[in-house]
Amino acid sequence: MSTPATLSSSSSYTGHLTNGDPRLAKASYKPTHPGSFEVTFREGEYNSCLVALKSFPKGSVIAMMSHATPSKTIRYSTVQVSETEHIELNSDLLYCNHSCSPSVHFNVSGPANTWRAEALRDIHEGDVLEFFYPSTEWDMSQPFACSCGAKNCLSSISGAKHIPSDVLASYVVNDHIKRLKAEQGQAQP
């Protein structure tokens, strides 16, 4: 299991402090991965997105999560990395929104220095980058009605805990989610 001590202890990235307000986010925005992707700021709360500036072949690493810091507070901007630990991404990856048909996987199954965002399919320049939130999140602090429009849209996103095992099995998820789902299955009659 990863430990918070292996993560960066400081960051100047403030995207998570804007509570989804695009005006505040844009005013303080400094790209963390120039040349790879950029944030498109859209009106309305939580409507901004991350757009690829180049192509990434399926299976490639699109970014390491080297800006991440531990977070004791669970909020919309954190990513769960174990049964008990969450991180702030402190990078443009914060704007990688949810989709039930994701193009990106946040792989946090190994040690912190190996955490990365990976292409689940070929990603082309101009594509919006999206990941499946329940691939990292067990029980979300801020559930929402999904409007991704995918054929396999789950309609409501509240974490892997609330998704039937057979449905969750069709997604790429992290090891801590697999362990928690197995424990949940053993606890049910």
pLDDT value at position 23?
A: 65
The phi, psi pair for 165, rounded to 5°, reads -55, -40
pLDDT value at position 43?
A: 76
Q: Record the pTM.
A: 0.85
pLDDT value at position 83?
A: 97
pLDDT value at position 20?
A: 54
Alpha helices in the chain (DSSP H): 22-27, 165-168, 175-187
pLDDT in tens, the chain (189 residues): 333 334 444 444 444 445 556 567 677 788 999 999 999 987 766 778 999 999 999 999 999 999 999 999 998 889 999 999 999 999 999 999 999 999 999 999 999 999 999 999 999 999 999 999 999 999 998 899 999 999 999 999 999 999 999 999 999 999 999 999 999 988 876
pLDDT value at position 105?
A: 99
* Greatest CA separation for the chain: 52
* Token pair 């990395």 in the structure block, residue: 81
pLDDT value at position 2?
A: 37
pLDDT value at position 28?
A: 73
Cα 143 from Cα 12, distance rounded (Å):
28
Write the DSSP string, 38-62: EEE--SSTT--EEEESS-B-TT-EE
Going 137 to 142 to 147 to 153, the CA torsion angle's sign is positive
pLDDT value at position 22?
A: 57
Please give the CATH number for the structural domain made up of 4-187.
2.170.270.10
